[in-house]
Structure 1
């Protein structure tokens, strides 16, 4: 049986045990570290966390999609009249929702074992990778669109050409589908050890790379680091720093609101994904021999990857809060939708929450500035 890495995005390698042609038996190439505690922790931790993230992401992103589609039907001019920001937000919500839908499968895996077959293993693994990559790249696109709208104030021209956003989204989905092809090719249902007895096994869905392949061992985590964290973070930092600098001449109240939102957006992204990518980098450096470590180091990294990955996955549940519910217009649309479904008498206080003093010109905060330039439902 192979050594398992207890996350949804793990890789094992076929050279865990070498075959001896002289004895005709399987021999361990090295004495493996005891992973019993890690597996016990995984089987108690992962099902609970994945189920919680699934519920929160499901509810939040369905609300975002419903509000967006309701807002979209009230606009005229067809698909390309929809603002760039709302187009990216729509694709982000779809991506986060599809990512969340894979989590119950992996929750069942760690609570029991993988019981869904090989085809479901490959498809769910590919969906997990596809939507994790695409969701983060859509966040970078939203940041860039805000940068264009506020810093360069060119949104009027872009509003008439928002089909460009559809092209950008198509390119993102295409690239991410190519990256998820790794899961289609290498995902397998394998039996791994659980406990000290080699007769006690657990079926799990894993990515199994060919033996003696340093490129695969190190290449995929580095791709995750660059496309799934480093590049989007640089884009977000550049765009939001330029946005905040452009608002330095604004009123104190506006600047304070802008700063709070910008710090919240960047901080949430970094706090969710930086720990996971740091542990992945440490593991890659160890495989390259750049750093050394024994069983305690491997144990720390494995548990760190497990816990920090769940922090990263929680980003798909937090996205609706910051990228949707921060906007007055979004809340107003949600209020109208709820009133239409359940009746106004169930929501006596929703008018104030959805947007007080409608006749008053809104303060030119970060979100309202974007509204005037992009007419986004996020405002």
Structure 2
């Protein structure tokens, strides 16, 4: 059987895919301008985000590792906040490793094969879901620590945090199964030429409602529901802090609120374009070439802005996290002194803090034991 070569109109928007014309009687809208924009814009943006995310998150992991090595008490010396931020940095790194592949795709075509296509797509979804879920966990933990400081002590220890992180990874792997199933490497006609693209491609026997349902689940679970949880937690936290002079806890919230705010700024526009595209597929909006062109370009730009989130987190640690800057300075001085570049004696790690007792909330969750805030 001859293989039908799909056009850009046959695809569901994801990683730069283009919109579908819902008017079957009308001539398909030209996508050449949108694809040309993607060829010029995406390789540069993806490459820049990759470099910044790689350097920044590796630096974060090094600082966290150094801080944890300097503490005694094992996991008990590692706060819940740092545990979730550690997993967040790993998630951002996983996404960063996929960006050069898609930069090559837009500059030339997909040349890495089907298996890499599916894995890369799954890593993209994995990071998007896990990133906001880890932030939601941090918000909920701060809510328990500040609003319910006494009654929630037994629930908040590092062992529980590791279990929660494992559950999040498993859940996000399940949600990313859509990319593993539907990501395909197919020849796509663009104008008079043909190129290979790694895209989500639903078979013709898949109903439009099914496709829209998957996209709405992505928006709800990957943005809407966690955002509502975070908003509730921080409203309660701010109300609690207004009635108390908890200076250290106010200071610790600065970084976390910044992380959540930047995530919303980065991903909210992309989620809005996804919702608009779903309304278009449901025929709740009038389809036109002009609207399709706006969705094409808007999806490309807002998706790249969302992807830049993985490079912005380390910058927030550096500019907002006072203790993170202190630990980073100590690490750099230690490396320079240890190599003799500063003409000083060999650096010796500082003595670890002594902790007593078991893995209790008071030991593991005092804000002063966090490297980030």
Pairwise TM-score range, normalised by the shorter structure: 0.7 to 0.9
- The structural deviation recorded for 1:202 is 1.3
Change (3 A) 1:52 1:5: farther
2:55 to 55, 59, 77: 59
- The structural deviation recorded for 1:210 is 2.2
**Residue 201 of structure 2: aligned partner:** 208
- The structural deviation recorded for 1:132 is 1.6
| 2:332 maps to 1:327 | no
**Residue 375 of structure 1: aligned partner:** 369
| 2:60 maps to 1:34 | no
- The structural deviation recorded for 1:7 is 4.9
**Residue 3 of structure 2: aligned partner:** none
**Residue 8 of structure 1: aligned partner:** 15
**Residue 361 of structure 2: aligned partner:** none
The structure whose RCO (Cα within 8 Å, separation 6+) is larger is 2
The gaps in structure 2 that reach 5 residues or longer are 1-5, 344-363
The gaps in structure 1 that reach 5 residues or longer are 17-27, 349-369
**Residue 302 of structure 1: aligned partner:** 296
| 2:183 maps to 1:187 | yes
SS in 1 for 2:230: helix
| 2:267 maps to 1:273 | yes
SS in 2 for 1:343: helix
Change (3 A) 1:303 1:377: same
CA distance in 2, matches of 1:86, 1:324: 15
- The structural deviation recorded for 1:178 is 0.7
| 2:50 maps to 1:43 | no
2:238 to 233, 238, 244: 244
Deviations 1:126-147 (CA, angstroms, capped at 9, x unpaired): 1111122111111111111111
Aligned residues: 344
Change (3 A) 1:322 1:147: farther
CA distance in 1, matches of 2:49, 2:225: 25
Change (3 A) 1:141 1:256: closer
Deviations 1:201-253 (CA, angstroms, capped at 9, x unpaired): 11110111122422332012111211111112112211122222222145698
CA distance in 1, matches of 2:300, 2:228: 25
Deviations 1:27-77 (CA, angstroms, capped at 9, x unpaired): x87521100100000000000111111111111111111111111112223
**Residue 364 of structure 1: aligned partner:** none
Change (3 A) 1:191 1:84: same
- The structural deviation recorded for 1:12 is 8.5
TM-score normalised per structure 1: 0.82
- The structural deviation recorded for 1:193 is 2.1
Change (3 A) 1:261 1:90: closer
SS in 1 for 2:109: coil
